[in-house]
Amino acid sequence: MTVHEQTEGERQFERYLESMRYSYEFEKPYAERAKKPDFTITTGHGVLLADAKDFDSYMPLGFMQVDVHFRIREKIQAGYKKFKEYKDFPCCVVLQNNGNVHVFSEEPRVVLGSMYGDFGFAVPVSVGAVRSPVDRPEPVPVFQGNACMTPTKNTTISALVSLREIPVGMRRLTKIWKEFPDKHTNECLAIAEERFPGFDPDEKHMGVIVWENCYARLPVSREIFNGPYDERWGLVGENIEQVFCGAGALDS
């Protein structure tokens, strides 16, 4: 049997799962199903499947217009094809950006817009008497056309999961630079070492952002993917909001 070389996304997601001490199997075969998911993950809150999708590095030359939703929607479509046979499991599409400057897989407006429709603003227009600037209503953020997630579309995909590496050390040092703009770098480093025991400017931690599909047939439990450097967005009432942010992500 030929074993393919793992992608960067698969390696990074393995690293994350191991840091969270989740039990998993890579490319576990399922009887009478043609495709194997990258990961079968077993937790105390059930079994879920995940497939890692990589964005190749890309640095464009010159000016160009970019559809920021297009590339993420491609990965959603690829996940749909992989998981068509797995409607009895919660299924996640894992996103790994390997340096593509046109991919914003950690930006809520872009990822949620890719899922629920192009992100934009509705601007109320007055007809007739002109209102004063004080009376004019504010633009309202809305999802427009081209939704990938609807009550009848891609309901097998329970969530998108964006992999990220948080540069904790540099974030802490940057905060100190902003706090003491007149101090030299060595002085800021000394303050960081005093404020954060064991401070390391190169400290980084793996984390994920979970983007729940509010139309999913089977949701991903909110009791998992909730580590100190994780974040989650989901439905609260009628709005999609941040429903979790780990202490490490908040602190860094």
State the Cα torsion 214-108-231-210 to the nearest 10°.
Answer: 40
pLDDT-derived band of residue 118, with 50, 70 and 90 as boundaries? confident
CB 212 within 8 A of CB 160: no
Predicted pLDDT at 170: 93
Ranges 117-121, 127-131, 133-137, 173-177: which has the least confidence: 127-131
User: Same structural domain for residues 49 and 90?
Assistant: yes
As a whole number of angstroms, the distance between CA 118 and CA 220 comes to 24
Ranges 78-82, 109-113, 142-146, 200-204: which has the least confidence: 142-146
Predicted pLDDT at 228: 95
Task: Provide CB contacts within 8 A for 76, sequence distance 6+.
Answer: 93, 114, 115, 148, 149, 154, 157, 160
Statement: residue 123 has pLDDT above 90? no
As a whole number of angstroms, the distance between CA 202 and CA 146 comes to 40
Measured in whole angstroms, the distance separating CA 227 from the mean position of its chain's CA atoms is 14
User: Same structural domain for residues 199 and 106?
Assistant: no
Q: What is the 3-state secondary structure (H, E, C) of the chain?
A: CCCCCCCHHHHHHHHHHHHCCCEEEECCCCCCCCCCCCEEEEECCEEEEEEEEEECCECCCCCCCCCCCHHHHHHHHHHHHHHCCCCCCCEEEEEEECCECCCCCCCHHHHHHHHHCCEEEECCCCCCCCCCCCCCCCCEEEECCCCCCECCECCCEEEEEEEEEECHHHHHHHHHHHHCCCCCHHHHHHHHHHHCCCCCCCCCEEEEEEEECCCCCCCCCCCCCCCCCCEEEEEECCEEEEEEECHHHHHC
pLDDT-derived band of residue 131, with 50, 70 and 90 as boundaries? low
pTM here is 0.86
Predicted pLDDT at 79: 96
Statement: residue 142 has pLDDT above 80? no
Predicted pLDDT at 129: 59
The C-alpha angle with vertex 17 and arms to 16 and 18, in degrees rounded to 5, equals 90
User: Same structural domain for residues 219 and 107?
Assistant: yes
Distance (Å) of CA 170 to CA 19, 50, 205, 228, 234: 21, 31, 12, 17, 29
Top-confidence residue, 66 or 116: 116
Predicted pLDDT at 124: 66
User: Same structural domain for residues 230 and 114?
Assistant: yes
Top-confidence residue, 124 or 190: 190
Mean pLDDT over 238-249 rounds to 92
2 falls within a domain: no
Top-confidence residue, 64 or 244: 244
CB 154 within 8 A of CB 148: yes
Task: Provide CB contacts within 8 A for 126, sequence distance 6+.
Answer: 136
Mean pLDDT over 55-75 rounds to 79
3 falls within a domain: no
240 falls within a domain: yes
Structural domain boundaries, residue 174 = 168-203
Q: Structural domain tally of the chain?
A: 2
Beta bridge partners of 235: 240
Q: Tokens 């939703």 label which residue?
A: 69
User: Same structural domain for residues 159 and 74?
Assistant: yes
Top-confidence residue, 184 or 146: 184
Mean pLDDT over 16-20 rounds to 96
Average pLDDT, the chain: 89
Mean pLDDT over 90-109 rounds to 94
pLDDT-derived band of residue 159, with 50, 70 and 90 as boundaries? very high
User: Same structural domain for residues 84 and 113?
Assistant: yes
User: Same structural domain for residues 110 and 216?
Assistant: yes
- What's the token pair of residue 143? 């999802």
pLDDT-derived band of residue 252, with 50, 70 and 90 as boundaries? low
